[in-house]
Each structure stands twice: as structure tokens, then as C-alpha cells.
Amino acid sequence: MSNGLKILISAYACEPNKGSEPGVGWNMAKQIAKYFEVWVITRTNNREVIERELKRNPVSDLHFEYFDLPRWTKFWKKGEKGIHLYYYLWQIGIYFVAKKLHAKVNFDIVHHITFVNNWFPSFLALLPITFVWGPVGSNGNIPRSFISESGFRARIDKILRTLAHIWGYLLDPFVRLTVKRASVILAINHEAVNRIPNRYRSKVRVMTAIGLSSDELAKISASPVVKRNSIRVLTVGRLIPLKGFNLAIKAFSRFTKQCSNARFIVIGEGLEKQHFINIATKYNIRDKVDFLGWLSREEVLKYMLSSDIFLFPSFEGGGMVVLEAMAGGIPIVCLDFGGPGEMVVETCGIKIKPLNPKQTIKEIADSILRLAKDPDLRKEMGKAGRKRIADLYSWDKKGEFIKNIYDRVSKKENSSKSAFLSL
């Protein structure tokens, strides 16, 4: 039931039954609508799936406004870099949509949710309404010592990412205005907090962008973990330098010298696929590594629940698949870096501090071996992972967290005097 506040949400990515950014937009909007009357501005091409879902499962206080740029601009979305220009212009366009809508509805709070990106502005910060920004953050840069290990594309990616961040954080006046205008900034992790200028950090609260619904948690947690005689190690993601799969393959090769009865399952596609296949061939483990390409979410979950260890040596700020593996009761081996480094604690996985490639590969291999040799430890960590997801990463918890944020800003409380919240 609505408590009287009217909320306007910007969610460029917003689709039901999806993971990643579209799932963040949809689930956040749905949770907020439990407590407040909500209007969401999203892209027109999300309309069909949203209206189909609302017809099946109506949400009385959730309304949608759809906007896209002119058709001739659509070609920009074909490339990974071009979509950034399209998104920037889309943000400008929805300002005028929001301004007209505000004149009719008279919103109390405007909230930017997706993209989950802190080096792009939100032009809704220009509206004369209390503004909440986030959750926002960005993927970290691959540490310098790992660039040569990751290949040519990683060097190019680092240069482009650095230039983009310099523009966003230092040169774009609208990013600075977004930070200044926000009553509350939700950061996806503590690394994202450090991106905020010191004078504004009292406004920051930490809240991961990703989560699982109560239905998903119940379904995944209730699924039995498949037992086999061999060890299966799984990883999932785009095959790009940021994910660190080159480290994973080399570590798995080292691990197989002490555990020959094992397989490494790689689910995903990307520009680096052939490079990773070549690494597996070079290290004489090509027959032990299965590159399966992209699979449906249901198929991915089946592989998770039939695996013994989830390996994720990524340098990214998020990591939805890590949450899904934890919900499935699978112990995690990851880097102590970015999003996975904060999601995983010692009770549910093993984290490796990435100091240099040689040390990291060795410690990943040792960690896999430790878990492979100790089924009781895998079981304990799996159980602890499920509990951690239920306690901290359910969408229901995030909805309650956002409600508390809105209650505070609507009462014009001084955020600098309030406790530093995190979720």
C-alpha cells in the first residue's frame, strides 16, 4: 500500500525475469511500489515484456512511461561503445518527459536506478525534487601487473576505460552536478564510495545493485546439489579480459596436476574466447575444459547445482552469478577485489588478494585443491553462502532499505548526522 509519497524512477534497463541491469531496474521498481506510488521511465522496447508481466502479475502502484530516441539513432546501440552515447542522449531526452510528468503528478522523490554507472550523469538531478542517485558504481581497472598477462585487448580496454572515467569523474560538469544535487548516493561497494569527493561522502550509503527475489531464493535453495565422483569447477561470464578467465584456466591447469579427475566448465561468449581456448590448448588441458557458450538462465543454474566449486577471478564491481552460486549452496573461489570481494566472506568461500599473476594463479589453484579434497568444507561453505544471500541480498531486504532512505529524505533529516547504513 502506498503511504502517500509519489516516486519517479529512471530505469533505462528494466525487464522482468532478467538478471544484470534489466533485473536491477525491474526488481527495484517492483520493491519500491510495495510502499509508495511509483512511476518508471524506461525504454520503449521494454514495453512488451513489462506489460505482459503486469498482466500476469499486476502491481497496483506501479506505472510506466516509455521513451526512446528517434529511430535513426538506433544504430549506435549496435556497438558496446556506441550504446554509451545513446544512453547519454536518452538521459537528456527523459528530462523533458519527466518535467512534463512532474507538472501533472507532483512527485516527492526522483530516483535514478539504471544504468548502475557512476561516471555518467543523471539529468533528472536538474528537477526541483529530492534526488536519490543509485545504486551506482563501475568496474575496477585490471591492476597494472596483470595487464601483460591479459593480452593486447586488456591494454586497449584499460586505456579506454581510464579515458572514460577521466571524462566522467573530472571533466563532465553534469556528473559533478549529479553528485552535488543528490540527497543520497547509493554506492554498490566501498570502492565506489572512494570515487565520491570527500565533501559529499556523508551522503553515501552502500547497497549492492544485485539481488535475488524470494521466489528465486526458494527455488534455487530447494534444488538438490548433484553428487558425482569427479570434481566439477564452473565459471560464468562474458569472455573478456576484465573477467580474469586467463588466470582461471592457468590455475585449473596447475590444479589438475594433483587432481586429474576434474573438469572446468566455462559458460559465456566474448571476444577473448579463442584466446582462452588457445591457453587451454597450450597448457595441455583442452580435453578437460568445456566452452559451452551462452546458455539460458535455467540451464546455467542447472550447471551450478551440479558443480562443486564456482570460480570467479573477475576484477568487476558486480557479479550476479556469484550470488546465484551462493544461493545454490556452491562454495566460491574469487579475487578479493571489487564486488565479489565484498559479497564473499571467509565462511562461504575463499578470496585471493591479487598481488601479481604468478601468486594469484598459485593461490587460486591451491584454493580449488583445498575445496576439492574436503567435501565437508564445501558443504559448510555452501550452507553459509545460502544464509548470507537470504540475510543480505534478497530484493525484499533492498526494498526495505530503500523505504528507510525515502522516509529519511522525505522528512528532510540531516544525512550527515545519520548512521552510515549499508546493505
Alpha helices in 283-374 (DSSP H): 297-305, 320-327, 338-343, 357-373
Q: How many helices (H) and strands (E) does the chain have?
A: 16, 13
- Locate the domains of the chain by residue range: 6-211+394-417, 214-391
Assigned fold of 6-211+394-417:
Rossmann fold (3.40.50)
In this prediction, residue 416 carries a pLDDT of: 41
In this prediction, residue 290 carries a pLDDT of: 96
Question: Which cell numbers hold the place of 63?
Answer: 506505472
User: What's this model's pTM, rounded to 2 decimal places?
Assistant: 0.83
Identify the CA nearest to 182 among candidates 207, 165, 202, 203: 203
In Å, what is the CA distance from 326 to each residue of 190, 330, 381?
21, 5, 9
In Å, what is the CA distance from 275 to each residue of 70, 152, 157, 174, 294?
38, 11, 16, 39, 17
pLDDT tens for the 423 residues of the chain, in order: 456 899 999 999 999 988 788 999 999 999 999 999 999 999 999 999 999 999 999 999 999 999 998 877 776 666 555 787 889 999 999 999 999 999 999 999 999 999 998 889 999 999 999 999 989 987 766 777 776 665 566 566 666 666 666 666 667 899 999 999 999 999 988 888 888 889 999 999 999 888 888 788 777 776 666 656 689 999 999 998 889 999 999 999 999 999 989 999 999 999 889 999 999 999 999 999 999 999 988 899 889 989 999 999 998 877 889 999 999 999 999 999 988 998 999 999 999 999 999 999 999 999 999 999 999 999 999 999 999 998 888 899 899 999 999 999 987 644 444 444 455
Identify the CA nearest to 210 among candidates 406, 4, 394, 407: 394
DSSP structure class, residue 422: B
Identify the CA nearest to 216 among candidates 399, 25, 393, 35: 393
In this prediction, residue 17 carries a pLDDT of: 83
The superfamily (CATH) of domain 214-391 is: Glycogen Phosphorylase B; (3.40.50.2000)
**Cβ count within 10 A of residue 239:** 22
In this prediction, residue 35 carries a pLDDT of: 95
